[in-house]
Amino acid sequence: MLKDILQVEDHNRVVGILFACLFGAIGKYEYRKLIGDKETQERVWAATESNGYILLNCKLYAYAYYVNRKLGIPTSPAKFGIFPEDVGVLRRLNLSHLDPRVFGAYTVSEFRAMESTIFTQDLMNYIGRFVTKKLRFLESYGLTRDGMRDHLVEHAVRALRRQYPRFKSELHALNVCKRTIHNAGMGLIEYWTRDKRQALHRETDGTFTAVNVPLESVQIAVQPEHEDRLRMDLQGLAALEHRMSPKLRTYIQIAAGHSHPGFSAFIGTDNSEAAASWDYPKYINKLQTYLNVTPDRAAEVMGKLRRALS
């Protein structure tokens, strides 16, 4: 099975290097150095990254065998779903850097139970809040809320399996997932707001059109029934801040929910939290007072910005 997945000539050597990296004995830099050929590095890693057989079955079996061997207890490959041809190479892995007294071994059912414990509604709510607070503006680039949520969940599951067995408790494992969710979200922002993508807007037919408009003359209709769309537009425009006047840039950033110490002090709470939890017109009214912007002027500016994005 591993041979079919990895498809490399020097199979045993590559498997040893790959699992040394997956078990934390070496880092990604050393993995690349030891594999050598760049095409092989990338192909093996891509084949491994989301493969449940490697990240779950093989890792669980290899570590259980390592732990049980020290205790004189047999470990059944069949109970871990391991193909007979992979047993030998997994038993030969050097896992001596891992201390069984610190890191416990899991069966497949135990690990899946832990995953179920971690990926409860609480964590899904955490992911939902993260998408709302940090990523919602990416909808203006064509991403969907469900797609972003699934992306974060996938990264968290993968990170948990890659981290195994190097967590001391389920709380530690949960924190691994939360850190990964944050980093994966920041990665999405970095990818979609790079300069070469900032001037593009995705249409409903999947094509892209330019959004190169002079933002100094841009305007906004603030209507309560459209507050969600307004917030999305504001967040999308925040990516174009380098083209705005300082005052307009500040207005857009704060309106989009970006953290601003001065405005936070003015309203007495973290403004990024307020943007997500307050009644949005109330938030905008406070912002207009803070920056001394009249509602009419704000409506004029935001109207033009919305038409630029439509």
Q: Where are the domains of the chain?
A: 2-100, 112-192, 208-309
- 241 pLDDT higher than 70: no
- Per-residue confidence at 283, pLDDT binned at 50, 70, 90? confident
Is 80 exceeded by the pLDDT of residue 249? no
Query: What is the identity of the amino acid at 101?
Result: R
Dihedral sign for Cα atoms in the order 237, 242, 244, 250: positive
CB 90 within 8 A of CB 58: yes
Q: Which of 235, 260, 265 is nearest to 250 (CA)?
A: 260
pTM summary value: 0.62
Cα angle, residue 114 at apex, residues 27 and 58 outer, rounded to 5°? 50
Q: How far apart are CA 107 and CA 198, in angstroms?
A: 47
pLDDT of residue 304: 58
**What is the C-alpha to C-alpha distance for residues 187 and 234, in angstroms, rounded to an integer?**
20
For residue range 1-40, list pLDDT tens digits in order. Answer: 899 999 998 999 999 999 999 999 998 889 999 998 889 9
What is the helix (H) or strand (E) element at residue 208, kind and residue range? strand 208-210
Is residue 310 predicted with pLDDT exceeding 70?
A: no
CA nearest 131: which of 235, 226, 239, 227?
Answer: 235
